[in-house]
Structures are given as C-alpha cells and as structure tokens.
C-alpha cells in the first residue's frame, strides 16, 4: 500500500465533530474504523484519515421492533451477540466466515459496507433480511435500503460530510429462518460467490415468503426475484430445488477474474442457492 499523500489523521470524540471535519476538509479524506480496507488496497490518493472508533458507534441494540447495529461494530462483537444468532442468523453466519479471528476483532460491518466491494460478505444478508441503512449528516438522518445505497463496484451514495451511522433490521414474527453461504478459494479469501436467504413458513410448513440475494456475481448484490417466487409453496425439497435454483442465472452476470471464471461462478451460484434455501428452511421448522 502506498501512502505518499497521507499527511493527516483525525480521531474525533463526537459524531458532530466528525461531521464537521468531513465538511470542512478540502482534500481527499477517508473514514476508517478498523482500517482493514487500507491494508488491502492502494489508497495513494487519500490525504487524511478520519478514525471513528471513538464515536460510540459499536453497539447492538433492540429498539422499536428492530435490531440496531452501529456501523463501527466489529465482526467479533456480532459473533458474541446471542440476539443476532437467534433472530438474524444470516448476519451471524456472514460474520463467522470473514477472514480470520485477528481480522474479525478489528474489521467492522460499516467498513465492509462503505468499501462496497461486490463480494463483501456483510452485504447479501442486509438485502435478505430487509435491512435499512441510516446515514447521518449535520442536519438530518437519512434512511435508505441497501439496493439504493450501492451503485456499483466500490461505489455507494455516501456524499462528502456523510457518515453511515447504523443498520436497522426488523424482527420477524411467525416461523422463519435465514442462512448465509460462501464459496472462496480459502478461509481468508474474498468470496467467489456468496448468498443470503430468508424464508418464512406457514402452518403447513410451506414457504410463504422468501428473500434471496447473491454477491460477487454482478456489479452489486442482486435479488433473485424469480427464484424467490419459485420457492414459495414448497417445503424446500431437494429434488425440486435442483431445478428451481437454475433461476439464479437470470439475475447474475459474473466475470472472470483472479479468483474464478465466470462459468464456475454460474455453477457454484446454483449450488449455494440450494444449500442456503435448505438450511434457512430447516431453521424455520426448528431443525
């Protein structure tokens, strides 16, 4: 990593102070919490770092029918949350496969979202669990859905003077389950393909609602709308899913890169879709 232009480091104590710095700084400034993204890429255009680890944004709170996860919450903190494990399993699953323990201790969920990497493991669960992202400015708090937040590879809607404050995920009633699956070359590598699935079941143990989101197979995470509709009314029977999961091919547009070929991504997307749907269903019925 080259840091030839990096010459200032800010560590504000309050959110208002952080927003003031962001608004007034005239050069290129990057928000960090764990800072692991700085280790992975060349950021030679960055002139200043704004460290938000003192702003109290590392929290997991239950309020008004939502779980609220502060943007500076680390993956280890997520893994230590029984509330997330029991009610938002796809988020917990995704945290469990991020790199290794040393990285999970410092890497934050907000950092993963801010980098907007299409293979980011924290992103598909937010689509599948119907999350809302809260953006703080000096004058207001804005709420946006993940599909409106991410605009392309490494691109999001955050503007100068804005900070991603928290993630809000609604609690679900009835019988439900969720799962996250990932294919990668090794345990610490970025995903070749990943997926998050949420399902609800009715009194007959048939799927009554489904949300399915895939990552690393398109410029941004994509919802598999046709597949979602196809699984409704089923009991996630393996033989039926074998044919149904082919519907993921209608929404993905994978590329070939150093981690995988496009053809391989097509194949594994079907595999992890079937696996994730079955696991989410099993959790919904209490298996």
pLDDT at position 276 over 50: yes
Strand partners, 280: none
pLDDT at position 113 over 50: yes
> Would you say residue 2 lies in a domain?
no
Torsion angles phi and psi, residue 147, rounded to 5 = -65, -20
pTM across the whole model: 0.94
- Span 213-238, mean pLDDT? 97
- Span 248-274, mean pLDDT? 96
> Would you say residue 113 lies in a domain?
yes
What is the pLDDT at residue 38?
61
> Would you say residue 29 lies in a domain?
yes
Length of the chain: 287
pLDDT at position 262 over 90: yes
For tokens 């079941």, the residue is 201
224 & 276 share domain: yes
Least confident span in 30-34, 69-73, 121-125? 30-34
Q: Give the total number of structural domains in the chain.
A: 3
> Would you say residue 117 lies in a domain?
yes
Tens digit of pLDDT for each residue in 60-84?
A: 999 999 999 999 999 999 999 999 9
Strand partners, 223: 213
181 & 166 share domain: no
What is the pLDDT at residue 9?
95
- Span 80-106, mean pLDDT? 95
Query: Reduced to 3 states, what is the DSSP secondary structure of residue 236?
Result: coil
Who contacts 91 (Cβ-Cβ below 8 Å, separation ≥6)? 69, 78, 84, 122, 125, 126, 129, 169, 180
24 & 68 share domain: no
Q: Which domain holds residue 244?
A: 175-284
């Amino acid at each position: 990593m080259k840091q030839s232009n990096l010459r200032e480091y800010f560590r504000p104590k309050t959110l208002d102070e952080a927003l003031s710095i962001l608004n007034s700084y005239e050069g290129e400034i990057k928000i960090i919490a764990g800072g692991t993204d700085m280790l992975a890429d060349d950021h030679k255009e960055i002139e200043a770092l704004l460290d938000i680890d003192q702003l109290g944004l590392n929290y997991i709170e239950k309020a008004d029918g939502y779980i609220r996860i502060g943007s500076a919450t680390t993956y280890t903190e997520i893994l230590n949350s029984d509330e997330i494990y029991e009610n938002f399993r796809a988020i917990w699953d995704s945290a469990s496969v991020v790199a290794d323990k040393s990285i999970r201790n410092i890497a934050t969920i907000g950092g993963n979202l801010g980098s907007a990497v299409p293979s980011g493991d924290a992103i598909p669960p937010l689509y599948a669990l119907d999350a809302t992202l809260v953006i703080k400015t000096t004058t207001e708090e804005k709420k946006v859905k993940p599909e409106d937040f991410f605009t392309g590879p490494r691109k999001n809607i955050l503007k100068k003077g804005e900070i991603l404050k928290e993630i809000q995920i609604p609690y679900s009633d009835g019988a439900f389950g969720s799962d996250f699956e990932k294919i990668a070359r090794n345990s610490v590598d970025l995903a070749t393909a990943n997926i998050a699935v949420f399902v609800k079941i009715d009194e007959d143990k048939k799927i009554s609602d489904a949300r399915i989101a895939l990552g690393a197979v398109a410029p941004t995470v994509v919802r598999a709308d046709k597949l979602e509709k196809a699984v409704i009314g089923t009991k996630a029977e393996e033989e039926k899913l074998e044919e149904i999961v082919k519907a993921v091919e209608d929404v993905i547009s994978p590329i070939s890169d150093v981690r995988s070929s496009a053809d391989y991504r097509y194949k594994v997307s079907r595999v992890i879709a079937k696996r994730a749907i079955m696991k989410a269903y099993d959790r919904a019925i209490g298996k």
